[in-house]
Amino acid sequence: MPRRAHSDRSSIAETIAIGSELLVGGRSDSNSLFLTEALGRLGIEVRFKSIVGDDRSDIVKVLETAVQRASVVVLTGGLGPTIDDCTREAVAEATGRRLRRRKEALDGMTARLAQWGRVPNRGQLRQALIPSGAAVLPNPVGSAPGFSLLWKGATLISLPGVPREMEAIMQTTVTPLLAAQLESNNARQNPIVRMAFHTWGLPEADVDAKLQGLIPRHAPVDLGLLASPMGVLVSLTTQAHRPVGEAVLTTLAEGVRTRLREWLFAEGRDTMEEVVGRLLTKQGLTVAIAESCTGGLIGHRLTQVPGSSAYVDRGAICYSNRAKTDMLGVPAELITKHGAVSQEVAAAMARGIRERAGVSVGLSVTGIAGPGGATNAKPVGLVYVGLDAGPGDAVSKEFRFHGDRSVIKQRSSQAVLDLLRRWLIGKGGT
């Protein structure tokens, strides 16, 4: 992304996730997407993210840095009842305030625990300790309240790490508070708009080439590309300090759609499984799946969507050859002749599951996920997918994927769901 002009820290935010287990990594910080979006709607841009353990002096260091570069600092975590949780103490130390047990914090917690027939224990009483001068942020769904205070010209907000509690406090208290603050400072910002476009089937370099020259030089919109086993994500993001007309954004988005055409399978937070689910529902169709190398992943993905029981009838995970014959009626001779990983078997699997389930459309995948099972003729990553909607309406495709077992399973599931999506659109769906 191009660099932007910025000389002060106004409308810049930093998030600080606190917890020693977060340092070990490998875990996604699910809070930060929510915070980035919620602050972005106020025109506040998250430009820095920090992660630090449950260590008081380390948290103090991170806080001191954050207030130098951001005007809004949101801490998550470290407000629990155990001795590890030291965010309260760290904020008090950094800002030179004392911790005091606050009536409004204690009352909320006591009332909540009373509902469950309990009284606060010693650890929970610690959760009512708040740095002096801070505003208590009530927690409508849990025991630990958050708090906010002004320090060195920055607004410092401390929230629980539990996503549900963090989100509730953000929505009920923090967002209105920040909006009022921006208003009274006459510092209202343009909301940061981020549009996401999900593509499948084109390498990142080809997506890049197709989008060349889309965004006029110096336009206040950033274009982002991110490749993953599930495809290439394209994003358009506006900048808080420069207003962007709605017409400009609409034109750019239309440009992305025109250039990426059928490779674009979803926008925003939509997923492939939600898109095909909506298309199936609209067309009143049902589906069944025959999976070999994906081992159930396609069924799992389709059934992540609430209400999917209306169009997913069944799936057959046919890991053994005998299962392909038993469950789908794939002739044993066909498997012997072409091998279980072949276009012929993929086609027979899709037809077999459609006929046995009595659904509108059958899907199939057979392939070599590796690391074992490859031969010279059939390498790891060779995958066949099939779709069968009745005589004369069937298609199967060959793919050669790269990656480890898990990546090949993911790419295979995406390939077959995209085959279904294209078929549904070809039938007139949108």
Cα Rg of the chain (Å, integer): 27
Among 405, 422, 425, 429, binds a second copy (CB under 8 A): 405
Q: Give the x-and-dash track for 15-44 against a second copy (CB under 8 A).
A: -----xxxxxxxxxxxxxxxxx--------
Element (H or E) spanning 387, and its range?
strand 382-388
Binding residue (CB under 8 A) for a second copy from 38, 42, 44, 54 = 54
Binders of a second copy among residues 169 to 228 (CB under 8 A) are: 194, 208, 222, 224, 226
**Dihedral (C-alpha) 197, 201, 203, 206: value to the nearest 10 degrees?**
-70
Which of these, 259, 261, 264, 218, lies nearest to 242 by C-alpha position? 218
350 neighbors 290 (Cβ within 8 angstroms):
yes
Amino acid at 361: V
Give me the least distance between CB of 96 and a second copy, in Å please.
19
CB of 23 to a second copy, least distance (A): 6
Nearer to a second copy, 115 or 186 (CB): 115
In the numeric block, the tokens 């340092």 are attached to 23
- Write the CA distances from 318 to 22, 286, 329, 387, 409, integer angstroms: 38, 20, 11, 16, 15
Query: Pairing relation of β-strands 194-199 and 221-228?
Result: unpaired
Give the interface segment with a second copy, choosing from 239-247, 249-257, 344-352, 402-410 (CB under 8 A): 402-410
Euclidean distance between CA atoms 319 and 296, whole angstroms: 10
Q: Considering the rule CB under 8 A, would residue 379 count as an interface residue with a second copy?
A: no
Query: Measured from the CB atom, is 34 or 110 closer to a second copy?
Result: 34
Is residue 296 near a second copy by the rule CB under 8 A? Answer: yes
Among 120, 295, 362, 386, binds a second copy (CB under 8 A): 295
Q: Please select the residue that binds a second copy; options are 41, 61, 210, 338, rule is CB under 8 A.
A: 61
The CB-of-376 to a second copy minimum distance in angstroms stands at 20
Scanning residues 86 to 115, which ones bind a second copy (CB under 8 A)? 86
CB of 247 to a second copy, least distance (A): 25
Q: Map the footprint of a second copy across residues 113-172, applying CB under 8 A.
A: none
Q: Which two tokens stand for residue 342?
A: 């072949």
Binding residue (CB under 8 A) for a second copy from 153, 213, 372, 428: 372
Distance between CA atoms of residues 339 and 94, nearest Å:
67
Residue from the set 44, 67, 330, 357 that interacts with a second copy by CB under 8 A: 357
Q: Does 50 bind a second copy (CB under 8 A)?
A: yes
Region binding a second copy by CB under 8 A among candidate stretches 250-258, 277-285, 364-372, 385-393: 364-372
Q: Judge whether 15 and 31 are in contact, CB under 8 Å.
A: yes
Binding pattern for the stretch 300-339 against a second copy, x by CB under 8 A and - elsewhere: xxxxx-xxxx--xxxxxxxxx-xx--xx------------
Residues 6+ apart with CB under 8 A from 154: 9, 66, 67, 70, 71, 72, 73
User: Inter-axis angle of helices 343-357 and 321-328, to 10 degrees?
Assistant: 40
E strands present in 97-255: 99-101, 129-131, 135-137, 146-151, 154-159, 194-199, 221-228, 231-238
Cβ proximity to a second copy, 225 vs 425, nearer residue: 225
* Separation CA 364–CA 380 (nearest Å): 18
CB of 104 to a second copy, least distance (A): 26
**Choices 112-120, 179-187, 286-294, 389-397; region in contact with a second copy by CB under 8 A:** 286-294
Judged by beta carbon, residue 206 or residue 222, the one nearer a second copy is: 222
